[in-house]
Structure 1
Amino acid sequence: MTEKHSVMAEAQPFYFEGNKVGILISHGFTGSTQSMRPLGEAYAKAGYTVCGPRLKGHGTHYEDMEKTTYHDWIASIEEGYQWLKERCDTIFVTGLSMGGTLTLYVAETYPDIKAIIPINAAIDIPDMENMQHSNIRFLDAIGSDLKNPDVTELAYDKTPVQSLKEIVLLMKKVKENLHTVTCPALIFVSTEDHVVPPENSQIIYDSISSRNKQIIHLKNSYHVATLDNDQQLIIDETLKFIDKIRNKINA
């Protein structure tokens, strides 16, 4: 699938070469790499090799997104994984919203993943289940659910109904295989989220087979927590978590 529209400046993929520990970072549904770049930059500053792919059909125009499938989004994240594999011995994965769904997918598919950090990850959104049956081609935007009024997410101003059908399929696929996830997991969830019901994170916590797992509740952010008031908390806790896992590996 060739994208007709050019990639927006802030939606470009990002790559930072650092040490032998890689962090794969995924943005969410209808969003762009802009929502994850502050995290990527912070992790690169800490010395890590970081890859933030742009999911196919994202960061251009919603008509491009309409033509993509969840297989395209998986392929985008797998390309990032392969890029890190060539450079790193150890790989961690984190993602927001559908990026969290893809984070779980990667853990289900690649047992060498050392740990995952899903942020407001989506595996069951009844609203989307219902909206996918709409006769309208494009629905209203779902992006930029932020508590901080001074920040805006770079996301589409329309949501293709065809894309809702694809994310519903992806969520179903990932949810069915959650029990196969065994790596350590640090799960972030906003107490108030107007896109993904917060109980998704509890279902993930209960369903994965990881012995080392914890949930951190974000009380001061809505859905796009990576750009919201808890951004620094996410960065700090993630770096602490990765550090702990690395020390265990090297012990």
Structure 2
Amino acid sequence: MTMHPLAQPVAREAKPELTGDRRIGVLLLHGFSGSPASMRPWANYLAGHGYAVELPLLPGHGTRWQDLNQVSWTDWYAAASAALDRLLADCDRVVVAALSMGGSVALRLAEERGADVSGLVLVNPFVSSERRELAALPVLKRVVPSLKGIVNDIKKPGQDEVGYSRLPLRGLAEVVAMWKVVVPDLPKVTQPILYFRSTEDHVIDASSSRTVLGAVSSRDAEERLLTNCYHVATLDHEAEIVFAESADFVARVTAG
């Protein structure tokens, strides 16, 4: 199966001449059933400002939805951790930025590899849910492989995150399994956080905001509300706000 070119991983080298002779990296993580296409403009923006960028394709994504039923959340974490190692090999400091489910992976990196993560930029992170039907996943995933997916929740016309049209239930159960590990350890997170939340989101509810910001130990944590975009804010009307403010955040938290 040929992979869509926008779903392929992205890697860019640091340009220290643009960042005060410092080599700064940003690891970007896409969401569940999505692909790097949802993050590519952001990655290109950061690379244009001199930051090294790693935007990996997380296992089970970018091919066919059935593949997402064959992986575990630890596979996503391992891929993200390996990408972080690649950045650290060449950079002085690294910030992790993430969309949706990628936010759970990013938080786990902050919990487990605290000294390696200088800050977090989270865009509509998927860390919890008030949907009661998720409680049925352990049984439902054994009899129904997938449901209709929620893809391209984007207010701006003409955008495509190159995601799956089906929602793989075994894969979704892995997301919930990840929460059971990540959420209890949120007090371990001490890094600065820039948190973007869309006020109108048809994929996740606001419980993730309360879960994360109510539990982390970060003294420097700011929530920014986005009022003119949906879930995939990185491809929506206010994407430039996310890009610009995240670039400023990276510069600030990696200084000194």
Mapped to 1, the partners of 2:109 and 2:241 lie a distance apart of 24
- Map 1:65-214 → 2, pairs under 5 A: 65-112=68-115, 113-127=117-131, 129-130=134-135, 132=137, 133-134=139-140, 135-214=143-222
User: Once the two structures are aligned, what percentage of the paired residues are identical?
Assistant: 34
Would the aligned equivalents of 2:37 and 2:160 in 1 still touch at CA under 8 Å? no
- The offset of 1:148, in angstroms, is 1.4
Mapped to 2, the partners of 1:126 and 1:69 lie a distance apart of 23
1:195-221, CA deviations, whole angstroms, 9 ceiling, x for partnerless residues? 111231232111100011100001111
Mapped to 2, the partners of 1:165 and 1:14 lie a distance apart of 27
Which among 216, 240, 245 is matched to residue 232 of structure 1? 240
Q: Which runs of no fewer than 5 residues in structure 1 stay unpaired?
A: none
Check 1:145–1:246 CA distance in 2 against 1; reply closer, same or farther (3 A cut).
same
Does 2:20 match 1:15? no
Q: Which runs of no fewer than 5 residues in structure 2 stay unpaired?
A: 17-22
Mapped to 1, the partners of 2:80 and 2:2 lie a distance apart of 20
Does 2:32 match 1:36? no
Question: TM-score, normalization: structure 1?
Answer: 0.93
1:113-145, CA deviations, whole angstroms, 9 ceiling, x for partnerless residues? 110011101111243624524232111112211
Mapped to 2, the partners of 1:142 and 1:125 lie a distance apart of 15
Count of aligned pairs: 244
- The offset of 1:38, in angstroms, is 0.5
- The offset of 1:176, in angstroms, is 1.1
1:65-121, CA deviations, whole angstroms, 9 ceiling, x for partnerless residues? 111111111111111111101111101000000011111111111112110011101
Mapped to 2, the partners of 1:198 and 1:51 lie a distance apart of 28
| Moved beyond 4 Å, runs of 4+ | none
